[in-house]
Amino acid sequence: MTGSYVAGTDIAVQDVPPSAGNPVSTGSSFHAAMKILPAAQREAMFEIYAFCRQVDDIADGDGPRPQRLAGLDAWRADLAACYAGTPPPALRRLHAQIVRYGLLQEDFLAVVDGMAMDVLADIRAPDAATLDLYCDRVASAVGRLAVRVFGMEREAGVALAHHLGRALQLTNILRDIDEDAGLGRVYLPAEALAGAGVPPGAPEAIVGHPAVGRACLEVAGQAQAHYDKAFAIMADAPRRVVRSPRIMGEVYHVVLQRLLARGWANPRERVRVPRARALWILLRHGFV
């Protein structure tokens, strides 16, 4: 399922062996990108990950919608307590990172609001503006938290979060169209579907339409434009500051390239990043 690109839907790397001691799958690009950080930054990023994981689990849970919305409201209250200086015991470590890195409450709340979009109603062929808002909330908001941890200059950091977050989320959407349809969701924008000649309908009918690949190509072009801008921003930033986002960006970009090479005709095989390619990206950017 698409969800937040950080929370449980990260790009898998083929044949990476597991190891203990971290809350993230060691076969994920997120784990690889965070592993190279200094200990303090790594701890902060894993706390952000844990937050994303928990609100994502609520949004994609099996409970009734009112129950899931109540769970997200509870997170809003807990975040308010953190920013009031009275964090619940379970969030004391997250609160410590909020204080250390000046993480903004509005960015955490944006993530919660993005998850709520999935709970209020199954997203089906949203218009482009709604999709962009969703991407901002579930992806770019996470990026805005992350760039504060990485120590990026504010303006460049916000711009990087904007473009890289959207690039990663659109890549997830293109990768997960069948899984999302099985959950009753279609994140491909209505404008792209209409332009491709794909009529409205049930999610599985939409993603099974012979012309859906044309809509996917349009979204892939949008993702590529965001990658181009994100890579340009990172090229102008100190290398040590953008090592982790560079790894994430390049791994996801490989996925986009492999999706384009595979196409979207049925049957669609799952796209993964070859271990050797992922290790090469890690070696290129993991050390400065």
pTM of the full predicted structure?
Answer: 0.90
Q: How far is CA 7 from the centre of its chain?
A: 7
The model's confidence at residue 36, banded by pLDDT at 50, 70 and 90, is confident
What pLDDT sits at residue 9?
Answer: 46
Domain ranges (residues) in the chain = 29-285
Q: What is the dihedral of CA 158, 161, 166, 168, to 10 degrees?
A: 170
Lowest-pLDDT choice from 8-12, 115-119, 272-276: 8-12
> Cβ distance 173 to 259 under 8 Å?
no
What amino acid is encoded at 128 in this protein? A
- Looking at the predicted structure, is the pLDDT value of residue 194 above 90? yes
Cα dist from 176 to 10, 25, 142, 208, 229, whole Å: 11, 19, 20, 13, 24
The CATH fold assigned to 29-285 is Farnesyl Diphosphate Synthase (1.10.600)
